[in-house]
């Protein structure tokens, strides 16, 4: 491959290397001065070069941009070098709060607690500290204009999603049989609770 042909890939590679956040195509174009065609062609080559099976660095398409990161297969060495443990996994409660923000958001803390049926303030605080949740506005129709919460680009990157559209629709996650079973149980418990003792 001649230098001239390799140059676009070099430019993109260099820009991606110094960014800890995903870079969108338009930002890459403006930084490198490449045309759409050159950019796409170079990115295709980089995807191949930085595929998980051929490199310790992988090119990911997450949070609406392109991001160079280490290959998870090498994570133990990276963690040893950085002398830090992998962040503690999220709790079930934290996953539920994130699911609320992802599928029902932006929504208020109160709305999250209402969906889950328990106070979620502590979980939300922890997720904000971990940059997975963020206040994206305020609900001006509600008393006190409570903050509205949404998921962050860090959340999309951590879940390997390019955008919110990468997640399956909420309705597809539960089958009709499961829903029917819930209604049946509810109906039977309501009948039992309402029945007179014989």
Partner 1 sequence: MTFEPLGRSLSDFTVELDVYSGPYEWLLALILKDELEIFEVPLRELVESYLLVRRPGAANGLERDTDFAGSAAALILLKSRTLSPAIDADSEGIEDEPLSPEVLAERLTEYLKIRRAAEHLKDRFVLNAGHYTSAHTIAPRQGSLSINLDRVSLAARQAFSRLIEPPVRHLGPITVTLQQLAGIIRTAIAGGPVSYESLTSDMDRMNRAVAFAAALSLAQEGSLTLTQAEPLGPLTLEPSR
What are the residues binding partner 1 (CB under 8 A)? 17-21, 58, 60, 67-70, 72-73, 75, 78, 82, 86, 88-96, 98-100, 102-104, 108, 110-111, 113-119, 122-123, 126, 142-144, 146, 157-161, 167-168, 170-171, 173-174, 178-179, 182-183, 186-187, 190
Beta-carbon contacts of 49 under 8 Å, excluding residues fewer than 6 positions away, are: 9, 55, 59
Which is nearer to partner 1, 5 or 160 (by Cβ)? 160
**Is there a contact between 71 and 52 (Cβ–Cβ < 8 Å)?**
yes
Beta-carbon contacts of 132 under 8 Å, excluding residues fewer than 6 positions away, are: 90, 98, 151, 152, 154, 155, 158
Could you tell me the smallest distance in angstroms from the CB atom of residue 85 to partner 1? Answer: 9
Which is nearer to partner 1, 51 or 170 (by Cβ)? 170
Q: Which helix (H) or strand (E) holds 70?
A: strand 65-70
3-state secondary structure of 148: strand
Which is nearer to partner 1, 44 or 104 (by Cβ)? 104
Could you tell me the smallest distance in angstroms from the CB atom of residue 142 to partner 1? Answer: 5
Which is nearer to partner 1, 1 or 17 (by Cβ)? 17
Structure tokens at 74: 């090498």
- Listing DSSP states for 13-68 in one string gives HHHHHT-SS-B-HHHHHHHH---HHHHHHHHHHHHHHT-TTT-SEEEEEETTEEEE
Could you tell me the smallest distance in angstroms from the CB atom of residue 5 to partner 1? Answer: 26
Which is nearer to partner 1, 12 or 100 (by Cβ)? 100
Could you tell me the smallest distance in angstroms from the CB atom of residue 7 to partner 1? Answer: 21
Could you tell me the smallest distance in angstroms from the CB atom of residue 185 to partner 1? Answer: 9
């Amino acid at each position: 491959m001649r230098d001239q042909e390799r140059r676009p890939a070099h430019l993109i590679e260099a820009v991606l290397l110094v960014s800890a956040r995903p870079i969108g195509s338009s930002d890459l174009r403006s930084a490198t001065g490449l045309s759409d065609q050159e950019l796409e062609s170079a990115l295709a080559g980089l995807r191949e070069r930085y595929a998980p099976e051929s490199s310790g660095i992988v090119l990911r398409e997450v949070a609406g941009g392109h991001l160079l990161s280490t290959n998870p297969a090498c994570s133990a060495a990276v963690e040893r070098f950085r002398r830090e443990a992998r962040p503690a996994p999220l709790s079930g409660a934290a996953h539920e709060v994130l699911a609320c923000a992802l599928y029902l958001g932006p929504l208020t803390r109160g709305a999250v607690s209402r969906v889950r049926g328990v106070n979620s303030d502590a979980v939300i605080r922890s997720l904000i500290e971990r940059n997975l949740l963020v206040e994206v506005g305020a609900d001006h129709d509600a008393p006190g204009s409570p903050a509205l919460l949404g998921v962050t680009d860090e959340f999309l990157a951590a879940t390997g999603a390019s955008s919110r559209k990468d997640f399956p629709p909420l309705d597809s996650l539960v089958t009709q049989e499961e829903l029917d079973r819930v209604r049946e149980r509810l109906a039977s418990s309501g009948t039992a609770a309402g029945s007179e003792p014989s």
